[in-house]
Amino acid sequence: MKSRIASWIAVTIFVSMLGTSLPSMAQTQETPQPHACSITPAELHAEKKAVMDFYRSGITLRELIALIDPSYIQHNPLALKLGAEKHISDYEEFKQLFTGIAAADNPGNTNVLDGPARRGGKAPQVVILTAECDLVTAIVKNTRTDPTAAQGTIYERFSFDTFRVRGGKLVEHWDDELITPESVQAFQKLEQNLPNK
């Protein structure tokens, strides 16, 4: 009987000690934030809105460029490559790329700023938008032709764009672009559409 009581007391003490240490154990297992962040829900909403404006259907080239901060940092390897070859800033490469896209739909028009920024005024389809601190990520649905299937067969592909947003402006960008001969040719073809060329 004494051994049962001693065992019961030992278990009770152990459980009570474990109970007091659980909160501290849970605390040490918390996922750390990548950097200090204090943002209100309203600020987070405004950052998401800036990114959704980037994808807005019918956005003009002038409106699109206005969303980009002149200190814009690009991490898209293809845009970086082409900007470096031309010795221009990431911001200037962005403007040239989207000016080429807008001009492709308006041949001969030297003022494309007030026209659609994207072909036909259509926007990529954002299927997921998530934000943390000053980073907003859009998952975009694309369709591609399947080169291994019957002609006209398409498949869905998802890509991402992550933007750092400050003061309502897009200041930094990451995506999953690859440098391929086809993508370089496509960018170069767009540059041929620039109004000043």
Spatial contact of 134 and 164, defined as CB atoms under 8 Å apart? yes
Between the alpha carbon of residue 197 and those of residues 90, 96, 194, the distances in Å are 20, 11, 6
Q: 159 has which bridge partners?
A: 140
Tokens 């990451």: give the residue.
Answer: 174
What is the pLDDT tens value at each position of the chain, 197 positions in all?
A: 555 555 555 444 444 544 444 344 444 444 444 567 888 999 999 999 999 999 999 899 999 999 999 999 999 999 999 899 999 999 999 999 898 888 887 776 667 888 888 887 788 899 999 999 999 999 999 888 999 999 999 999 999 999 999 999 999 999 988 888 887 787 777 777 666 54
pLDDT for the residue 1:
54
Write down the pLDDT at residue 2: 54
β-bridge mates for residue 157, sequence order? 142
> How many CB atoms lie under 10 A from the CB of residue 68?
19
- Sign of dihedral through CA atoms 62, 60, 100, 169? positive
Q: What is the pLDDT of residue 196?
A: 59
Contacts for 169 with CB less than 8 Å, ≥ 6 apart: 50, 67, 68, 69
Secondary structure of residue 60 in the 3-state scheme: strand
> Which pair of structure tokens corresponds to residue 36?
């200090």
Angular region, 168: left φ>0, alpha ψ -120 to 50, beta rest: left
The length of the chain is 197
- In sequence order, what DSSP letters do the residues of 154-182 get, joined into one string? EEEEEEEEEEEEETTEEEEEEE-----HH
- What does each C-alpha distance from 22 to 8, 12, 26, 28, 30 come to in angstroms? 21, 15, 6, 10, 13
Which string of b and e fits 146-160 if b means at least 16 CB within 10 Å? eeeeeeeeeeeeeee
